[in-house]
Amino acid sequence: MDLMEYKARELFERYEIPVMKGVVIEDVSSLQEKTSGLAFPLVVKAQVQTGGRGKAGGVKTADGPGELNEAAGSIMGMNIKGYTVKKLLLVEKAEIEKECYLSITLDRMTKMPMIIFSTSGGVDIEETARITPEKVLKYAVDPLVGVRDYTARYLLSKSGLDMSLLGLFFDLLKKLYGMFCEYDCMLAEINPLAISRDNRLIALDGKVSVDDSALYRQPDILAFRDSLQEEELVLEARKFNFLYIPCDAEGHIAVMSNGSGMIMSCIDLISKQGMKVRAGLDLGGGATADRIKEAIRIVLSNEETKALFINIFGGITRCDEVAGGVKLAVESMPGNKLVIVRFEGTNKEKGLQILSEIKGNVVYVNGLQDGVRELYERREQM
C-alpha cells in the first residue's frame, strides 16, 4: 500500500521527524483560509500515488497569493500517469544548504531492514547508483540490535558530511526506523532530506509503502486506503476479502478464480481471441456457496459485464459448494447473463448435478480452453 506524501508526512510528524509547516487542501476555494498561517514562498504539490510529479508539472513554487492561486488551479484536477489530482499539499519552502537521500527498505537478500543513504538527494536513487555508485551507502540493520549511534557515525563519516550532524542524524535514524518497524513498512523514504542553512535536518518529501498483508494491524492506514477514490466494486469486494481487479473499460467479460495465476491465464487466452476482459475477481480461500454467491453478485452488478467465466481448481475445493453458490446467485439476480463454469475438486459430480438443475444461462465446461471457446462462440451476445 503506497501512501500519498501528505499521509507519509503525517507519520513523520507522529514520530517527530522534522518537516516544513504545511496544509492539505481538496478545494482551491479554501486556499486563502487554509494558508493564512503559512509564510511565502510556498511549494504546491500534487497528491497522487505515483512518482514523477515534478516532471509532469505537479510541483510548483508560489512567491505570493496570485502565484499560489495560479499554481493550485493549474495542478488541481490534472492527470499524472493516470491519476487525477484531487488533493494538494502546500508547504513552506525551506532554505536549503544541501539535499541528501535517506531510506529504509526491506532487503530480500539479507532479510533485514536496509538503510540507504546518499549525499545526492532530490533525484532517483537508482540513477545516482548507476552514475556514481560510490555515493550510495548501505547498512543492514540487525532487528535484534536496531539502530545504534555507530550506525549513524558510520554513514556520516563514509559520506564525508560534517560530524557535527551526528546527534541530529542519529535521532532521525532512530525515529525513521521505529516508524518503519511499527507500521510494517516495506519502504520508508525521505527524498530529499535537507540540511538547512541553520544546520537542521528536514524531511522535504516522503514516500512510505506499507506491507499489504499487515494492513489488518494498521487501522489508520486501512482507513486511508478506504478513503481513496476507488471503484465502488473494488470497495464492495474488499468487504468480503475478495480482490476485484478492473481491467479494460471496453470489455464485457469478467473472470473469477481462486488465484491470481488462474485469473491471468484466463485473461491472456481470452485476449488472444480478440475479446476484452472488463474485470477479474480473486476469491482467495474458502470457496463456500455463500461467498461464491456474493462474488457473482458483485461482478455481474456492473451493467456492462455481460458474461462471467468462473474457473476454480483446488484439491480441497468442494465443487458442490461452488455450484451451490452459482445457483443461489443466478436465481436471485434479475436478467439472464451468461455464466460459464469450470471446476475441479471434491464432490465434482454433486456439483455437476446442481448445475444441471439451474434454470438460467449457465454452461459447464471441462477446461480453460473450452471456456474461452464458449465465450468466443457466444461473443455476439455480449
Pairing of strands 362-364, 307-318: unpaired
Q: Which residues fall within 8 angstroms of residue 191, CB to CB, at 6 or more apart? A: 101, 102, 103, 121, 122, 125, 205, 206, 207
What is the spatial distance between Cα 161 and Cα 141, in angstroms, rounded to a whole number?
21
Pairing of strands 338-346, 362-364: parallel
What is the spatial distance between Cα 225 and Cα 230, in angstroms, rounded to a whole number?
9
Sign of CA dihedral 268, 269, 274, 278: negative
The single-letter DSSP state of residue 203 is: E
**DSSP codes of every residue in 324-346:** HHHHHHHHHSSS--EEEEEEEEE
Judge whether 101 counts as a catalytic residue: yes
Q: Which residues fall within 8 angstroms of residue 192, CB to CB, at 6 or more apart? A: 96, 99, 100, 101, 121, 122, 204, 205
What is the spatial distance between Cα 320 and Cα 300, in angstroms, rounded to a whole number?
21
Q: Which residues fall within 8 angstroms of residue 225, CB to CB, at 6 or more apart? A: 1, 215
Q: Residues 6, 101, 139, 183: which is the catalytic one?
A: 101
Contact (CB, 8 A) for 190 and 19: no
Judge whether 189 counts as a catalytic residue: yes
Contact (CB, 8 A) for 316 and 345: yes
To the nearest 10 degrees (0 to 180), the angle between helices 368-377 and 260-272 is 40
What is the spatial distance between Cα 86 and Cα 1, in angstroms, rounded to a whole number?
19
Q: What number of CA atoms fall less than 13 Å from residue 63's CA on the CB side? A: 0
Q: Residues 6, 83, 183, 189: which is the catalytic one?
A: 189
Return the amino acid letter for 215. Answer: L
Q: How many CB atoms lie within 10 A of CB 75?
A: 22
Contact (CB, 8 A) for 174 and 104: no
Just list the catalytic residues.
101, 189
